[in-house]
Copies of this chain bind each other. A is one copy, B any other.
Amino acid sequence: MPDRTQIAEWIALDWGTTRLRAWAMRGHTVIDKRETGDGMATIPRDGFEPALLRLVADWMGPGRTDVIACGMVGARQGWAETPYVAVPAKPPVASPHQAPAQSPHLRVRIIPGMKQENPADVMRGEETQIAGFLALNRGWDGILCLPGTHTKWVHVSAGEIVSFQTFMTGELFALLGRQSVLRHSIGETGWDDTAFSDAVDDTRSRPERLANALFALRAADLLHGQTPEAARSRLSGLLIGAELAASRPYWLGQQVAVIGETAPARPYVRALELQGVPAIFADGARMTLAGLSAARDHLKAAT
């Protein structure tokens, strides 16, 4: 019989493309947490419930346990497709969709993603982080930047997501640094703030030079012995500088918060600072959990 202190009142899940993060909750308090590589992309349609039970069965009591999830688990290839909610709208944490489950001990709900018809754009998971941020910062209006594989810039006003745009910056950084010809010139770690700042400047002012400036990273290694650390920082700066050029109508003259993990968020905060924009930083996992907790509060209030 499991230790009584292990039994969760409910379970929070951040179920993304490559990772599954689970928290055992009592109210808003985390009593345990776990993480696996059972991401949405690795699981067949009928594999979601078994993957979840493998991870959290010993958190479950004899009755029925509520599970609230966000992320790619609600995509077409996920556990159950939850239709996107169109902007402008509040982040839809108050209206999660129930996913089918075999076990009578599970009640699983998935928070829908959001879509924008024109320009076409979608998000899954970030809406929950945004709900969390707004739960912790009531009445906050401004721009949220959520760095990641696909970085989002989101205009929030009066508790609603008004519009947003996505940039493939994180995915480009990974592909270029690890799989393109630049991999020979770019370090896996290390940071050179001057190289980063100069690169942000270059593409912020002349974004069209990006594809040429990328190859110049290789040439500067061959001709001028540029260090792997400088090349890595410069690659990050070139991509973020071009992103700032495109997202300028979002952040110019607005208050900005950056939500994410520290490593991808730090260069965004620095690049915004270089534009004279003092962005605040909010931890991504904490915002996710706050958003899932807000969803739980809505469910409890409704029953």
Contact = CB atoms under 8 A, between A and B. Distances in A.
A120 B220 CA distance: 5
Contacts of A180: 168, 171-172, 175
Q: How many copies of the shown chain assemble into the complex?
A: 2
Contact of A219 (B122, B211, B222): B122
Contacts of A208: 207-208, 242, 245-246
Question: Which bucket holds chain A's interface residue count?
Answer: 35 or more
B211 A172 contact: yes
Contact of A175 (B84, B150, B175, B247): B175
Interface secondary structure of A, over-half rule: helix
A165 interface: yes
Contacts of A219: 115-116, 119-122, 166
A43 to B, nearest CB: 16
A133 interface: no
Contact of A216 (B76, B84, B119, B218): B119
A211 B121 contact: no
A245 B208 CA distance: 6
Interface of A: 76, 84, 115-117, 119-122, 149-150, 165-169, 171-172, 175-176, 179-181, 206-212, 214-216, 218-220, 222-224, 239, 242-243, 245-247
